[in-house]
A and B are shown apart, each in its own frame.
Chain A
């Protein structure tokens, strides 16, 4: 089975800190994604990557950056954390293959910024 592992289930940080959220997948998938999930707003795409060192902005990239130095790892960076970035963060991966390729999600990191 595909496994997408997020480094922390819960994380508490302070305003202004630089925060790193890590995600690792074990299926050699080309595509990786970062979403945030807030009550009443569903899943919103922050950034995605379709190859090592490649990245594209999603719908809400402001205040975030990403890094993909290795195929299996995709990091989300909050450069200077703010309270409005308190949220659930979900990582996903998918293959670029013929036909349908579903996204596989991790279990999320619940981040609180104090």
Chain B
């Protein structure tokens, strides 16, 4: 079964970069790694995804290790609105099921 491991919590200061790590040694080589975030009182929202190479979008960057056993979500300049729980995930086998870990709660200090 796919499994993800993330730190329970991290803290950052506003305007500083944040690197959120995830270990996902059991996600298969052909499955995407995706990240979601959950703001308070909302459902999770998609952030970014990748397969083998590093990816950038307007929200974040995703750095994927060469062996695909880990990845890092990078917020280049944290803002107070980035305070959320961040989940990395991947599909389980060939199904549409995503395996969510417990997520990392990011606190951003002003």
Contacts and interface: CB of A to CB of B under 8 A. Distances in A.
Contacts, number: 51
A42 B96 contact: no
Interface residues of A, number: 26
A41 B32 CA distance: 23
Interface string A83-96: 00000001010101
A43 B49 contact: no
Q: How large is the interface on B (under 10, 10 to 19, 20 to 34, 35 or more residues)?
A: 10 to 19
A48 B97 CA distance: 8
Interface in A59-114: 90, 92, 94, 96, 100, 102-108
Interface of A: 4, 31, 33, 35, 40-45, 48, 50, 56, 58, 90, 92, 94, 96, 100, 102-108
